Amino acid sequence: MAKGMREIKRQIKSVENTRQITKAMEMVAASKLRKAQEKAQAARPYSDKLREVVASIASGTRGVYHPMLEKRPVKRIAYLVVTSDRGLAGGYNANMLKHVSNKIKENHTSTDQYELFIIGRKGRDYFRRRNLPITDAVTELTDFPTYADIKSIAYDAVKGYEEGRYDELYLCYNQFINALTQVPNSTRLLPMESVEVAQEDKLKASYEYEPSAEGVLEVLLPKYAQTLIYNALLEGKASEQGARMTAMGSATKNASQMIKDLRLVYNRARQASITQEITEIVAGANAQG
């Protein structure tokens, strides 16, 4: 019995140490979540202004043509998938990868019909193990990435559509709802839907273009698409921290419940041991009497 009690005490100590780690990780994730949300919000004014200028050109200039606005028969599709480099984030990566895998199964019968651009080690390793066609991958990003960190993969993904390697480009990321909810989302990035300018922007926006509206659009449209990719990454990072905070909070609660149950088992074993000792003492006394 003493040996069993020692094992229970050792197990209680181990779970207490684990609970300290998960509690610390929950607090760190909560702090990073606030910073990630602030960074995502700070990036919105730039993309909003780009959208305003692009919409102004598209709505105010007749006969504007750009490959990124052109719809063509869909023969090949590219997916840019945003995942994380680290685990311990609940279903953040699993839900995203399952979502993308289902889309691939629904839309394709051969690996020649699509290609993948991956952000994050978890996504890269998942698709690499299944021998799926990965064109480019970026890993080892910080918790607060800059545009320069994903500039190359964003440029390559947009350039591939302009060159006609594929006919649609989908952006797949976890949409941040709140700390408890992150929804896997697939948005068609290219070809772009018709970008319409809001009525209040029509009244206040008046631009002159050099050398021409078409020339400006040729530069801005790729930048706008790349900015949307960066914004999706920032939202994905906020989702990752929210998922990690929730997962570590659940782990801490589970550890507390496990410690409570183990202490109950320990106390019962201790009580049984004391009762047995008392019984042996009484029996010995009676035998001598």
Please give the Cα distance from 136 to 134 (Å, whole number): 6
Enumerate domains of the chain plus CATH numbers.
2-27+247-283 (1.10.287.80), 42-243 (3.40.1380.10)
Please state which of the ranges 26-35, 132-141, 231-240, 277-286 shows the lowest mean pLDDT: 277-286
Sheet arrangement for strand 168-178: 134-138, 114-119, 77-82, 168-178, 181-190
Please state which of the ranges 134-143, 209-218, 252-261 shows the lowest mean pLDDT: 209-218
| Residue among 158, 186, 165, 193 nearest 54 (CA) | 193
Quote the pLDDT of residue 206.
Answer: 62
199 falls in which pLDDT band (50, 70, 90)? very low
Give 124-179 pLDDT, tens digit per residue. 999 999 999 999 999 999 999 999 999 999 999 999 998 999 999 999 999 998 88
How much is the mean pLDDT over the chain?
87
Give 6-24 pLDDT, tens digit per residue. 899 999 999 999 999 999 9
Quote the pLDDT of residue 51.
Answer: 77
For 200, the token pair is 């209040």
Quote the pLDDT of residue 205.
Answer: 55
